[in-house]
Amino acid sequence: MVNIRTLFSVIVVLLFFKVTKSQEKKSTAASNVTILKKEFIIENLNSISHKVWLYLPPNYTSSKKKFSVIYMHDAQNVFDSKTSYAGEWKVDEQLNEIFKKTGKGFIVVAIENGGAERINEYTPWTHEKYGGGKGEIYINFIVKTLKPYIDSNYRTKNKAKHTALIGSSLGGLISYYGGLKYPKTFGKIGALSTSFWFSNKVEEFTKENGDLKCQKMYLLVGGKEGENMESDSEKMKELLLETGYKKKNLTLKINPEGKHNEAFWSSEFTNVINWLYK
């Protein structure tokens, strides 16, 4: 059984390890993926200039339609194997395929993590060993700065029912937190392999904020992630329901073969989108 805390430490190390041949990698990002010219320094978080990746649906320039928006974290791993440290989610290819089959298009806004500051950015509370605790600042940035910028510059469906927040591991934790804190901004949450273990304060936070009637939430966990990941997710699902979260708007999928990595999250991404936006 994998020790998730050990795996977590390894991932943190890999995140900042420079592969000497990285420059030789070819970009795998689709042609409808770009990086915004504008970068963002998040006030009171750190001094890092955060790059933001943007995916536009294939018919964005040929139509006048408005589109639902999906906000994601760890942008380095979302679209491009050249920038990822452990594989990419292939979000662009999967959404292009959904569009090809159904005509349904989405905008994806993915924020790069701050490298060594990733733990601080994606955790609303502190951990005795790993630190962290600046997640509220990060989420406030998305809600009060980034989303208004995107809504002003692109054709978006800006209401909560069209807006998703999706992430994995610590990115799942900050998505869960952001969704419960700002249900009038994010109407759809994808919390994949969520690091609920990071702080037991998540339970009290859920009790105080989980009485939501309209928001939809997709919880995902793999059977091979280890260290109580499965039981933690089941516990949080039950707590949400006890608190008042509407049963039909909440699902937990347990994939017995799922591991704590990008390959797993990539393999489930289309299922997440289809359920949240069905």
Over the stretch 42-60, which tens digit does the pLDDT of each residue have?
999 999 999 999 999 999 9
Across residues 138-154, what is the average pLDDT?
A: 98
In a domain, 9, yes or no: no
Number of domains, the chain = 1
For the chain, the average pLDDT equals 93
In a domain, 237, yes or no: yes
In a domain, 7, yes or no: no
22: left (phi over 0), alpha (psi -120 to 50) or beta: alpha
Q: What gap in Å lies between CA 1 and CA 266, rounded to an integer?
A: 22
Q: What gap in Å lies between CA 239 and CA 219, rounded to an integer?
A: 13
Across residues 257-275, what is the average pLDDT?
A: 98
Report pLDDT for 184.
Answer: 97
CB 216 within 8 A of CB 68: no
- Where is average pLDDT lowest: 22-36, 63-77, 135-149? 22-36
Would you say how long the chain is, in residues?
Answer: 278
- State yes or no: pLDDT of 10 exceeds 90: no
In a domain, 17, yes or no: no
In a domain, 50, yes or no: yes
In a domain, 134, yes or no: yes
In a domain, 2, yes or no: no
Report pLDDT for 211.
Answer: 93
CATH number at residue 186: 3.40.50.1820
Report pLDDT for 155.
Answer: 98
Provide CB contacts within 8 A for 209, sequence distance 6+: 180, 181
- State yes or no: pLDDT of 69 exceeds 90: yes
- State yes or no: pLDDT of 18 exceeds 60: no
The domain in which residue 202 lies consists of 29-276
Report pLDDT for 86.
Answer: 86
Across residues 211-232, what is the average pLDDT?
A: 94
